[in-house]
Amino acid sequence: MSIGKNVIHDSALGHVSGQSQYIDDIPSQKNEVYVGIVPSCFACADVKGISFEKLNSHPDFIMGITADDLHDNSWGTIVHDQPVLASQKVNYMSEPVALVVSKSRYSLQELIKLVDVDYREKKGIFTIDDAKLEKSTIYKAHPFKRGDVQKALKKSMHLLKGTFKCGGQEHFYLESQACIAYPDEDVMRVVSSSQHPSETQRVVAHALGLPLHHIVCEVKRMGGGFGGKESQGAPIAAYAAIVAKKLGKPARISLTVDEDMKITGKRHPFQNEYVVGFDNKGKITALKAHLQSDGGAYSDLSSSILERAMFHLDGAYYLENVEIKATCYKTNNHSNTAFRGFGGPQGNMTIESIIEDIAQTLGLDSYEIRKINCYRGSKNITPYGQKVENNMLPELFEKLHKTSQYKKRKKQVEEFNKKNKYKARGLSMTATKFGIAFTAKFLNQANALVNMHLDGTVQVSTGATEMGQGVNTKIQQTVASAFGIKPSSVKVMTTSTEKNHNTSATAASSGADLNCAAAFNACEMIKERLIQIAKNYNIKNEIEVSDSLKRTKGYTFKNEKVTSPSGKKYNLKDLITKAYLNRVSLGAYAHFKTKGLEFDKDKGWGSPFNYFSQGTAVSEVEVDLLTGELKVLRTDILMDLGRLINPGIDKGQTVGAFIQAMGWVTTENLCYDDKRNLLTHSPTTYKIPNIQDIPREFKVNFIQNHENKRNIFQSKAVGEPPFVLGISVWTAVKNALSVKCSSVVEMSSPATNENILITYEKHR
Ligand code: MTE
Ligand code: HPA
Ligand code: MOS
């Protein structure tokens, strides 16, 4: 049984030795051409004309492409409102307006600069406040309501009103958006860095005017996606494909980091208004909130992200009287998109910020406020009607409180703050209760193809895409344990729309949940046939095997042997050979769908999630009040991931997600000039965490929980939930400043050194 073991990540050796192949590592074919994007020079303008005239004398120039060359110039994962190439109008700075095709990748930047685009600049909308004034919206969600908020607010002992603001975030995947398109007679084969091969297939098909069966999208792996390649990889693939189709030659596109950062969308900045009522103990009696996000120029996944923010406003806390409204605004910023957590962090952070403020107002420790508001017992229904089953939150809070020595350290922090004039320390514990499932029900399905070979090894293909998160390894473990064979006897093959159709993005942390389950179902089909072979082992005539899905009970597959209920043992390999000789199929294709998901959007009520992955984290920070410098002294994390499929991978995901979130709430600050040029478009100015920034003491643990009956192997998804725990670093900074200033401190995220200083100066 390889479930629960630290089976080595299938790319680990390749990654450290440099042998893993990414898109741009694929050797060029001799007639290959290179594609570059011409970015707009204005955030909002009419486009009067595009001229490639000046490029004609350049020896490398092959041709220019505009919107007119596309069959259907619109795409969008939910609403088709985004042009593949802008025509007539540009709606954000650096929006792709044209393509140039070159014989050499090295002259692309030169060629791009030679393209003449005639713009008429117009006034743009750049902030949520301006969009509000102009009534420029992308989506208004149906509100969630429970109880009587107005009445409860009136009756509340205390009220706090405020606006919580958090910034966007650049994905900073190490492999930029990239694709090579290969014309293969009348099929276009796109090899892409995409979390969503089926969507890429569709966008390419529409852009080229071809039916879907003439497009194949293949993804071997990504050098990171983090949500940035859920939707936005698709138009990049269309750029390569349209050129490949026109020229009948392979076409390669691979953005530079600077281009990628300027052109592609990011995490949504939010600006959430709220009024909260609470009693003397800090029990929240009413919460009224309006979540507001900056969607940028086009819809993309913004409506779904906004809704996930609403679903996570409650965080780990029961809200009896609650009203949550939400609006996504349309601005002339880059089109914001999925990013690890998918709006969840922006919602969850709001309530954690509110709780810090309640604690400061009442002069209590925020941990006490969190504990009394935490979901427990019969107080286990979310504002949208889902019951929090298998709720581990109270245990997580209490255990981490103990193991992190919270009480003792809180005292030490207080003493430190009394003794130090120019330094302040803060301590804060936050939590997550992350809903697992795509909130659009139809996306919660997957299919798998399992092929068993005569030497007893297996190839498996699903729609899941590997981006470093280890989904391939978890699928490999699933198949190995199903057949009772070694993980090294299972190979997870390149993801391709040719083998797995109509797949969902590898997203919503449910890649492993859905695809492991589909692979498991396919294995069960083959196993049933092998069992029938075993039952009829000594029959002389050809063995007939019925493909009934009824699982014969009592047979076990272990150590490459199959054992009958009576204890008779067969070599798995012998059964495989016998199956083949008896003309019994050793391949299976299976489908899986998550059961029990029901949510009524018009009522804002139901159970959109399969289950919740949960966790708590406590962070201790020190800020220098003269320079704003921030040090994270210690972080303790405790998570409930059910029964871990691969502890090593799950720990890697937990640590990675936490640090990525810590970057979001501390140093990653997107800066623009007045025209909305992104100033922080490279690692020299955009500061992600590095090894020195991680907590000086960092403890990561998981609790034992084998009771999650709603997912394969009783596991729980890990990809996004720990991201939410990074918020504890920000609330710890807020705690440090609140205590030092003896007041509720309004601080936006990220808490950059500069922001820490400004906030301190404003409140002291
Ligand atoms: N881990 C790595 N190394 N690279 C990534 O791009 N993406 C995250 C998470 N972990 C990501 C990652 C995001 S946004 C999601 S939704 C999940 O992985 C997707 O994979 P899963 O559903 O298989 O967990
Ligand atoms: N999470 C992540 N990605 C998604 C979702 C979701 O709920 N819905 C569509 N894409
Ligand atoms: Mo993850 S943001 O759901 O790709």
Give the pLDDT confidence of 422-474 residue by residue, as tens digits: 999 999 999 999 999 999 999 999 999 999 999 999 999 999 999 999 999 99
Q: Rounded to 5 degrees, what are φ and ψ at 116?
A: -100, 120
**pLDDT band at 551; cut points 50, 70, 90:** low
Residue 447 to residue 436: CA distance in whole angstroms: 19
Selection from 349, 367, 369, 351 nearest residue 426 by Cα: 367
Residue 371 to residue 270: CA distance in whole angstroms: 27
Residue 658 to residue 705: CA distance in whole angstroms: 21
Q: What is the mean pLDDT of residues 655-675?
A: 98
**pLDDT band at 664; cut points 50, 70, 90:** very high
Residue type, 229: K
Closest ligand, as measured to the CA of 660: 1
The answer to whether the CB of 196 is under 6 A from ligand 2 is: no
Dihedral Cα 514, 516, 520, 526, nearest 10 deg: 110
The answer to whether the CB of 301 is under 6 A from ligand 3 is: no
Residue 232 to residue 179: CA distance in whole angstroms: 12
Residue 525 to residue 91: CA distance in whole angstroms: 51
Residue 463 C-alpha to ligand 3 middle, in angstroms? 15
Residue 134 C-alpha to ligand 3 middle, in angstroms? 31
pLDDT of residue 547: 76
What does the pLDDT look like over 173-196, one tens digit per residue? Answer: 999 999 999 999 999 999 999 999
| CATH 3.30.365.10 domain locations along the chain | 270-439+601-763, 445-593
Say yes or no to pLDDT of 714 above 90: yes
What does the pLDDT look like over 597-637, one tens digit per residue? Answer: 999 999 999 999 999 999 999 999 999 999 999 999 999 99
Residue 254 C-alpha to ligand 1 middle, in angstroms? 21
Residue 452 C-alpha to ligand 2 middle, in angstroms? 33
Say yes or no to pLDDT of 99 above 90: yes
The CATH class, in words, for 31-123+177-254 is: alpha beta
**Fold for the domain defined by 270-439+601-763:** Aldehyde Oxidoreductase; domain 4 (3.30.365)
Which residues carry out catalysis? 720
Residue with CA closest to ligand 3 atom 4: 227
Residue type, 574: D
The residues, any chain, with a CB within 8 Å of residue 689's CB and separated by 6 or more, are 659, 660, 662, 663, 666, 667
Selection from 215, 226, 170 nearest residue 192 by Cα: 215
pLDDT of residue 71: 98
Between the alpha carbon of residue 718 and those of residues 349, 398, 443, 641, 661, the distances in Å are 19, 21, 19, 7, 14
Residue 507 C-alpha to ligand 2 middle, in angstroms? 6
pLDDT of residue 549: 63
The residue written with tokens 């004309």 in the block is 49
Q: Which residues line ligand 1 (CB under 6 A)?
A: 224-227, 340, 467-469, 471, 506-512, 653, 656, 717, 719-720
What does the pLDDT look like over 396-420, one tens digit per residue? Answer: 999 999 999 999 999 999 999 999 9
The answer to whether the CB of 340 is under 6 A from ligand 3 is: yes
CB contact at 8 A, 386 and 609: yes
Residue 453 to residue 439: CA distance in whole angstroms: 38
Pocket test of ligand 2: the residue of 346, 443, 444, 597 to mutate, having most ligand atoms within 8 Å of its CB, is: 443
Give the chain's mean pLDDT.
97
Between the alpha carbon of residue 239 and those of residues 57, 109, 113, the distances in Å are 23, 16, 18
The answer to whether the CB of 439 is under 6 A from ligand 2 is: yes
CA 65 from centre of chain: 32
Q: Is 464 helix (H, G, I), strand (E, B) or coil?
A: coil
**pLDDT band at 546; cut points 50, 70, 90:** confident
Selection from 172, 171, 182, 170 nearest residue 23 by Cα: 182
Residue 44 to residue 37: CA distance in whole angstroms: 18
Ligand 1 closest atom vs CA 508: 16
The answer to whether the CB of 224 is under 6 A from ligand 3 is: no
| CATH 3.90.1170.50 domain locations along the chain | 31-123+177-254
Residue with CA closest to ligand 2 atom 7: 438
The residue written with tokens 């070599």 in the block is 571
The answer to whether the CB of 338 is under 6 A from ligand 2 is: yes
**Fold for the domain defined by 445-593:** Aldehyde Oxidoreductase; domain 4 (3.30.365)
Residue type, 123: K
Residue type, 236: I
Residue 746 to residue 140: CA distance in whole angstroms: 27
Q: What is the mean pLDDT of residues 87-92?
A: 97
Residue 559 to residue 147: CA distance in whole angstroms: 57
Closest ligand, as measured to the CA of 312: 2
Residue 665 to residue 632: CA distance in whole angstroms: 12
pLDDT of residue 420: 98
Closest ligand, as measured to the CA of 305: 2
Closest ligand, as measured to the CA of 435: 2
Residue 439 C-alpha to ligand 2 middle, in angstroms? 6
Flag whether the pTM goes above 0.75. yes
